[in-house]
Structure 1
């Protein structure tokens, strides 16, 4: 059974003189803006580089498509943004936030 709730606008209690309302006409937007903050923190302190350095890569170098750093970044961003299942990462890649949060390698 589908829900038929389609209000144009939700109104909440005012905040001082300001009206507070929720609207649904924003088009395709994202709730994953926290990824941008995580990216800036990573750029500032080198978090993902340091974390990736904890792993030893035993893969055949001729068969490597994505670096350990890229794979670690994908997992960290996925967990931080609530995409804990690995099968959700394709959805994360298509998100509307101004990516790339991790490298432009296509992960």
Structure 2
């Protein structure tokens, strides 16, 4: 399935890419080759293969959630760019009159 120049321009427009004429020709060729490969993959008989989400075994990698001692406030705020009254100080997002 060969992509036309207009189709490449449309894809570039959707991706907000400004392409030169040489790039349009190159991408038409490359994208056409990719689509042809997908077409070939669709022809593979997969009737006996069950659908899979992953080929890796599922396992839980989380550690148990155990409460611990909280960090001291001074240590938490030591790298804060701005602080006031023992709290992080941030720019207001919404301002009300």
What is the TM-score of this pair, normalised by structure 2?
0.23
Q: Which has the larger radius of gyration?
A: 2
Point out which structure has higher relative CO (alpha carbons under 8 A, 6+ apart). 1
**Structure number with higher strand proportion:** 1
